[in-house]
Structures are given as structure tokens and as C-alpha cells.
Amino acid sequence: MSVGFIGAGRLAMAMAKGFIRAGAVPAENIFASAPDNLVGRAELRNIKELGIHVTHSNTALVSQSDVVFLAIKANVVKNVLEEISPFVTQRHLFVTPMAGITIKSVEEALPAETRVIRMMPNTPLVVGEGATVYARGEHATKHDGEMVEVLLSNVGWCFEGKEEYMDAVTGLSGSGPAYVFLSIDALATGGVKMGLSRQESLRVAAETIQAAAKRVLETGAHPSMLKDEVCSNNILGQSALSAIHKMEAGGFRALLMDAVEAGEDRTKELRRMGEVKNHVED
């Protein structure tokens, strides 16, 4: 199976590296199309070092690939689909990770009965971890879905969901790693303020987040119950409860809920951007 990425940006390269590292797709079966303006840029050297094939032609990439990931931004999708449409055949499966862009809009821009799957991954798949939710279009078969699921399961957890939730998934897990990176940085900075070295503090913060996530996944327990395990009820303890009181007073949980909602709202705006040719935001 040959895998192509239209757009050789951050997500595409994370996926390509993740697939190669996991042994899911050999580098020689991976293609990426990068615009001409990448020539001479450091990104192109990094991409070439991966050993994948790089072209400056989206249409050549389509001709070379069985599975085509649309790893571009919403503002160029209309033009790109118009450009490649004459080169699309029944051989192709299109997978779109684009925030906000619906399956229907991709299907309508490509030849009738083109098989399309929409998915929302996240970039930690570069290290073989992460969460991907996908939804099948009208013509994508169960087998197509299983194929995507097997491929993405090499680089994290992947499951089929409903397209109507995909904007919310974008606000939750597509963008989620950024919220967690921010949290790790903030926790580590707190440690530094209390006298730890930056390096130690960062490691302790990252290991703590990883361990807590693992505990949720392995026990299947409600996070509030696990929180109670950490918080001593005894008046002689309560250092965790004192900290949590501060977090609640600062609206910590409401802030994270608002973040997911804001991510979803912006994703819906991106959908409108995708409806216009070469949209440029003011």
C-alpha cells in the first residue's frame, strides 16, 4: 500500500515519522507533496531525511498513492481538490484530518462515489501514542474503515465515531496535546519557583501527567475517585486538597471545559473558510 500526504506540514510529517517508526508503512511507500516554496527550506531537508518521496506536484502524488491524506489547511482545500479531481480513480481512498472540513464537502469536490474518511488524530502519534477518531463517508466501505483503524492503531488508539462529534473531538483531542504541554510547562515552572532545577522539574511534571493518564486508562475508574486517593482526608495531611482548593477557586476545570468549547467553535469557523477558494483571513 502506498500512502500519500498532500501537504508536508506538521501533521503529515508527524504521521509519516510515526508510521515509519512503528514499521506500519516503509519509507519508500510514503509520498508527500510540498509546495515549490519549500525548496531550500530546512523543512524540506528534514522531510527528505525521512527517506520518503517528495514531489512538488499534488497530481503526481495522487497518481502514486493508494491512500491520500489531505494534510492541508482549510483555506486551500477547495483549490487543491479542484486540481486533483481529474486524477482520482476508484483505486483511491481519501482520508481528511482537516479541522472542520466535512466528508460531504470533500465528496462533492471529487468524482462521484469517491471513498472518503474523515479523521481527527493528534501529533503525539509521532511517538506511537495518541487518539484518533474517524468517521466513514457514504462510499467508504467497512473494509476501508478497518484499514484506517489498523494503520492508525500502530501509532496510538483509534476508533470509529460519528462525524457529528468530529468538531468536538478537534477541540478535545486534536488540540488537546497543546493544553497538556501548557500544563506540563506550568507545573514544571511551579517546581522551579520552589527551587527544583528546570530539567528535574520538567521530567517530574511530564512523568506525573503520563502516570496519571495511565492510571485512568488501566483502572477505568472515574478520575474524581482517583483524585480522592491522592487527597488525604486527614487534617494532618491535605497538601493536595489545599492545592485543589486553589485550582477550583481559579476556575481550573471550567477553564478546560471552555477550552474544548472554544476549540470546537473555531473548528466550525474553519468549515466556512473551506467553502471559499484560497481563503485568506483578515
Ligand X SMILES: NC(=O)C1=CN([C@@H]2O[C@H](COP(=O)(O)OP(=O)(O)OC[C@H]3O[C@@H](n4cnc5c(N)ncnc54)[C@H](OP(=O)(O)O)[C@@H]3O)[C@@H](O)[C@H]2O)C=CC1
Ligand Y SMILES: O=C(O)[C@@H]1CCC=N1
Under rule CB under 6 A, how many of the chain's residues touch ligand Y?
4
Residue keyed to cell 473531538: 169
Q: Is 99 in the site for ligand Y (CB under 6 A)?
A: yes
Q: Is 170 in the site for ligand Y (CB under 6 A)?
A: yes
Residue 153: contacted member of ligand Y, ligand X, none (CB under 5 to 8 Å, by partner type): none
> How many CB atoms are closer than 10 A to CB 191?
18
Q: Is 174 in the site for ligand Y (CB under 6 A)?
A: yes
Binding residues are 6-11, 58
**What minimum distance in Å lies between the beta carbon of 34 and ligand X?**
6
Which residue is closest to ligand Y by CB?
Answer: 174
Instruction: Report the distance separating Cα 163 and Cα 172, nearest Å.
Output: 14
Please say whether the beta carbons of 116 and 62 come within 8 A.
Answer: no
**Three-state DSSP state, 31:** strand
Q: For 90, how many CA atoms within 13 A lie in the half-sphere containing its CB?
A: 1
Q: CA geometry: angle at 95 spanning 94 and 97, to 5°?
A: 145
User: Which CB atom, from 8 or from 188, has the smaller least distance to ligand X?
Assistant: 8
Binding site for ligand X (CB under 6 A): 6-12, 33, 35, 37-38, 58, 71-74, 76, 80, 97-99, 120-123, 174
Residues 6+ apart with CB under 8 A from 132: 119, 120, 121, 122, 125, 152, 156, 157, 158, 159
Q: Is 132 in the site for ligand Y (CB under 6 A)?
A: no
**What minimum distance in Å lies between the beta carbon of 280 and ligand X?**
12
Residues 6+ apart with CB under 8 A from 222: none
Residue 20: contacted member of ligand X, ligand Y, none (CB under 5 to 8 Å, by partner type): none
Q: Is 124 in the site for ligand Y (CB under 6 A)?
A: no
What is the DSSP code string of 59-100? Answer: HHHHHH-SEEEE-S-HHHHHHHHHHHGGG--TT-EEEE--TT
Q: How is residue 95 written as a grid cell? A: 482520508
Residue 272: contacted member of ligand X, ligand Y, none (CB under 5 to 8 Å, by partner type): none
Binding residues for NADPH are 58
User: Which CB atom, from 54 or from 241, has the smaller least distance to ligand X?
Assistant: 54
**What minimum distance in Å lies between the beta carbon of 205 and ligand X?**
21
User: Which CB atom, from 61 or from 99, has the smaller least distance to ligand Y?
Assistant: 99
Residues in contact with ligand Y by CB under 6 A are: 99, 170, 174-175
